[in-house]
Amino acid sequence: MKASHSDALVLFGVTGDLAHKMIFPALYAMVKRGTLKVPVIGVALPKWSLARLHKRVTESIERSGGVDNQRALHDLLSLLKYVSGDYDDPNTFTAIKSALGSARRPAHYLAIPPSLFEMVIKGLGAANLAAHARVIVEKPFGRDLASARELNRVARTVFPEDSIFRIDHFLGKEAIMNILYFRFANSFLEPIWNRNYVASVQVTLSENFGVGTRGSFYETAGCLRDVVENHLFQVVALLAMEPPSDRDFGAVQTEKAKVFRAMRPLKRDDLVRGQYAGYREEQGVARNSDVETFCAMRLFIDSWRWEGVPWYLRSGKYLAETATEVVVELKPPPQRLFADSAPPTAPANYLRFRVSPDSAIAIAARVKLAGKEFVGGQRELYLSEEQAGEEAPYERLLGDALAGDGALFTREEAVEAAWAVVDRVLKRHHKARPYRRRSWGPKEADAIIASDGGWHDPIPKETSG
């Protein structure tokens, strides 16, 4: 049965940075496309006037790319209402109910610090604002397995699971969605997509900048919590999952959860933690901090398809490039018929999924060079590049949440299974190793993958293809 569309959006944290940087531009884009026509009730503590909120929204849209459709801006501003109040005050929720008017199926978006999630969810339940409603929760979903379980428990006491949308903007990227499509829309891939033909898989998410003004936040999170356990694990799930029974979001989420449950829990020696030079001098960072700004890990998925195949994940700040890329390295031909076509003299064939800064899918294969000798070289065959008209991640995800489509969101069982993989090393791990800024991290990260030929560093945009 098709889900009903939400008839209002309640945006908690409307005066915050996330709303200003990401959400307002997404709402503006949705209005331009004709996908947002319901009231938007902003909720926050400051005693703002509606005129001040309008000014904030307009400034956000101008900053993100400019106002290119005055009618759309006018329509967005006309949808806005504002409720000022403390999240632990029942009167705030009474005011929200009044602002909703005749709306009976609101979507409550918690664009607020994670420490406030439980308070707001309980407040919605106590005010009878959860019936026929949805709740959209920003990551992170807990700090470890125990806190994730508690947050899920609280959410489930107020909302049914199908009405809880755990939002991770990474899953809204077009290139991430294309991984799912590419895997299951093409027949040539399935015969080789297993332990018999895949030697290893690498996933890199690198940034060439530091924590900036987010030092205090990073001290509470670190790279493993902030990026690896959610963003990179989600990519792994899309690459490793079995074919879902259909495109129904429940079937997709079920298969992703099976991947997390099949992941072997990490041990200390599976993980390399790093910290860039100068991190301890950043604003809000402890002078003796051991928080990691870099992670590299070796992961195994104990399933029939992937038994014995190592998955290498790394992410960090102040690395050499800003990029997100997946390399699926294939095993060499079974017979060395041509002297130059097998390791160690030749690199292995691979598939490359480029997520950012540009998106592409490419296959690396060897081709013969002109001449009498059977000598060749490896070339990349491009299958996909960026396309015009792509929806931004928040635009897509908010539209899906309002429509009740949970395919790109994360379910309770998957959240807890993912935390279970890293829970042990969150508490017991080696000390963070120092590394130079704009390098590829500490040398120990190279050692963890040395037996599989080393890391494939992301190809700079100007040289890719």
Q: Which residues are part of the catalytic machinery?
A: 231
CA distance 307 to 263: 10
**Most distant CA pair in the chain, distance:** 84
Task: Name the residue type at position 249.
Answer: F
Please classify residue 159 by burial: count the beta carbons closer than 10 Å to its beta carbon, then call 0-12 exposed, 13-18 middle and 19+ buried. buried
3-state secondary structure of 165: strand
Nearest one of 401, 19, 340 to 172, comparing CA atoms: 401
Contact criterion met (CB below 8 Å) for 174 and 147: no
Query: How far is the first Cα of the chain from the last one, in angstroms, to the nearest whole number?
Result: 44
Nearest one of 134, 132, 79, 129 to 107, comparing CA atoms: 134
Structure tokens at 454: 């080393």
Q: At what angle do helices 249-262 and 412-427 cross, to 10 degrees?
A: 20
Q: What string of DSSP letters covers 354-399?
A: EEESS-EEEEEEEEEPSSSS--EEEEEEEEEE--TTPPPHHHHHHH
CA distance 415 to 233: 10
CA distance 196 to 439: 34
Tally of CB atoms within 10 A around 451: 10
Contact criterion met (CB below 8 Å) for 238 and 326: no
